[in-house]
Homo-oligomer: A and B are copies of this chain.
Amino acid sequence: MATATRCARCDGLERRANVRRNGGRRRVATRAASSVARNPNMAQLKAGYLFPEIARIRTAYLEKNPDAKVISLGIGDTTEPIPAAITKGMVEAAAALGTVEGYSKKGGYGPEAGQADLRKAVAERLYKGTPITFEDVFCSDGSKCDISRMLQMFGAGRKIAVQDPSYPAYVDSSVIMGHSTGFNDGVKQYQNITYMPCGAENDFFPDLSAARDAELIFFCSPNNPTGAAATREQLTQLVNQALETGSFIIYDAAYSAFVSDPNCPKTIYEIPGAEKCAIETCSFSKYAGFTGLRLGWTVFPEALKFSDGYSVRADWTRMMGTSFNGASTVAQSAGLACLSDDGMKAMEDLVNFYKENAAILKRTWEEMGYKTYGGTDAPYVWVSFDGRDSWEVFTEILEKTQIVTTPGAGFGPAGNGYVRCSAFGSRENINEAARRLKEAYSK
C-alpha cells in the first residue's frame, strides 16, 4: 500500500485503534464521532443556501400565521403549467418508456452530454449564426448543477470574480472548492473572491478592471437579481478583456429569452472571440417552466483551451462521463418538444406572460415613488429602498403584506438596500400582490 501523502490540515489527524478488551471478548468501542475531519471549506459557508433559507422563513411564518394567504415573489420559480405543445411530447415520451420499442430507443443510459437530437436542436435553434456547433452543447439537469461540476473540474486554487450582487451559487460553490480563505464579516464578502459592484451608480455594469487577475469570471445577463441586460458594447468589453488577460468567462444566460432590447445579445457568442474565452450556461427552467423537470445545457466551445493548449471541452466530456449520467430522458424529450415550432411559440408566449407580470410589479412600485431597475428584459424587478437594510425590508414586506420577496443582501453586499421581486406568479396573484403593496407602501 502506498504511503499516504496528507495535506497540511490532515497531518494532525490522529487515528486511535479505539478497541477495548472486555472480559476476553473483543468489544467495539462506541465513538462519539468518526475520525474524519470536516471539510473546512464547508465550514466557511454561511448558514443555509439563500433559497432554502427563504423557504424556511416562509414556512415558519405560515406556522405562526396559519391563515395567511402568502404570495411568493421570492425564489424565481415558474408557476404556469407547461404549455400543451410541450407537455404532449413529454407525456408521449413517458408512455413510450413502457413499450419495448420506446424503451430501446430512449429508455436506457443515454450519452452523458445529452441525446444528439436535443443537442442539435439547441445549437440550431439558439446558436445559429454563432460559431457554436452541437458538439459544444452539453445538456444536463441544470445550470446550478453544472456550475458546481465545472468548479470541481477546474479544481483548487482558482481566482474567482463575480458581479455583486449575483446568484449565490457562484460564490457558495467556489467557497466549497476552497477559493476563499474565509468570510470577512466587516465587508460581508468572502476573502480572495473579487466582488465587482453593480449598482445604479454604474448602470449595473461593473468596473471590469477589478477582474483582470481572475481566472474565472462569473457574469450573468440578463442579471439575476438586478434584471439588467448587458449591451453588445458592454459584452464586447468583457470578452475583449478576457481575451487579453486569458480569463474564462462563465456566462449565465438563464434569462436570455426575456431580452427584447435588440442592443442586448441573447448569447455571448454573438460577440466575436467569445468562443475562445466563454462558457455559457442556460436552461429551460425559466423558458418553459422546467424548474422541477430539470433540463439545462452548458456550452463548451471547441476553441476554448487551457494555458497548455489542452481542450477544456475534452476535460468537460471526461468530467460529465465520470460524475453524471445524462439528464432524465423524459425531460430531454420535453426539451426537444420545446424546440419544435409549436414549442418555440409556446415558450415565447410564456415568457411574454411573465414579462407582463414584471411590468405590473414595476409600475406598482414606480407609481408609489420607488426607484426600480430591471423588469423589462428580465423577470426580476429590483426595487431600491434607499440603503435600508434589505433583510429588514424583506421581513417588513412579509409582515405587512404577506408577500415573500428576496432581500438584496442575499445576493452579495452590494445588493443591500434593494429587494428583488420575482415576476413568476399567476396573474391573479401578481395583481393581488400589487394591490397589497399599494395598500402598505404608498408614500
**Residues of A that sit less than 8 Å from B by CB:** 1-7, 9-10, 13, 15-19, 28-43, 45, 48-49, 51-52, 75, 77-84, 87-88, 90-91, 93-95, 97-100, 102-104, 106-112, 141-142, 144-145, 147-149, 152-159, 169, 172-173, 176-178, 181, 184, 189, 191-194, 210, 212-213, 215-216, 240, 243-248, 273, 276-277, 289, 291-294, 304-310, 315, 318-319, 321-331, 334, 426
Within the complex, the shortest CB–CB distance from A207 to chain B, in Å, comes to 11
Contact A35/B215 with A152-B177, A318-B48, A325-B145 known, Cβ cut-off 8 Å: yes
B192 in contact with A36 (CB, 8 Å) = no
Contacts of A30 in B (CB 8 A): 243, 273, 276
Contacts of A308 in B (CB 8 A): 33, 37-38
B157 in contact with A108 (CB, 8 Å) = no
Nearest B-chain residue to A16, judged by Cβ: B246
Within the complex, the shortest CB–CB distance from A1 to chain B, in Å, comes to 5
Pairs of residues from A and B, 4 with the lowest C-beta to C-beta distance, nearest first? A35-B246, A7-B157, A39-B155, A148-B323
Given A35-B245, A48-B318, 18 further pairs, Cβ under 8 A: A6-B157, A7-B157, A15-B212, A15-B213, A31-B243, A34-B276, A34-B277, A34-B307, A49-B318, A83-B98, A87-B94, A107-B292, A108-B289, A144-B322, A144-B324, A144-B325, A292-B326, A330-B330
B152 in contact with A216 (CB, 8 Å) = no
Contacts of A102 in B (CB 8 A): 81
Nearest B-chain residue to A107, judged by Cβ: B292
A173 in contact with B109 (CB, 8 Å) = no
Q: Could you give 28 example pairs across A and B, Cβ below 8 Å?
A: A3-B192, A4-B159, A7-B156, A18-B243, A18-B245, A33-B308, A34-B247, A35-B246, A36-B216, A38-B315, A39-B154, A39-B315, A42-B153, A48-B321, A49-B321, A52-B111, A52-B321, A77-B109, A82-B98, A87-B98, A91-B95, A97-B293, A107-B291, A141-B294, A142-B325, A144-B322, A152-B177, A155-B178
Q: Determine the distance from Cα of A30 to Cα of B100 in the docked complex, in whole angstroms.
A: 52
Partner of A97, one of B87, B210, B215: B87
Contacts of A194 in B (CB 8 A): 1-2
Nearest B-chain residue to A318, judged by Cβ: B45
Contacts of A159 in B (CB 8 A): 4, 6, 10
Q: Determine the distance from Cα of A109 to Cα of B37 in the docked complex, in whole angstroms.
A: 33
Contacts of A107 in B (CB 8 A): 78-79, 81-82, 289, 291-292
Partner of A292, one of B147, B154, B328: B328
Contacts of A210 in B (CB 8 A): 1
B145 in contact with A324 (CB, 8 Å) = yes
Q: Determine the distance from Cα of A215 to Cα of B14 in the docked complex, in whole angstroms.
A: 11
Contact A29/B153 with A79-B104, A81-B100 known, Cβ cut-off 8 Å: no
B178 in contact with A156 (CB, 8 Å) = yes
Contact A4/B45 with A152-B152, A155-B178, A306-B36 known, Cβ cut-off 8 Å: no
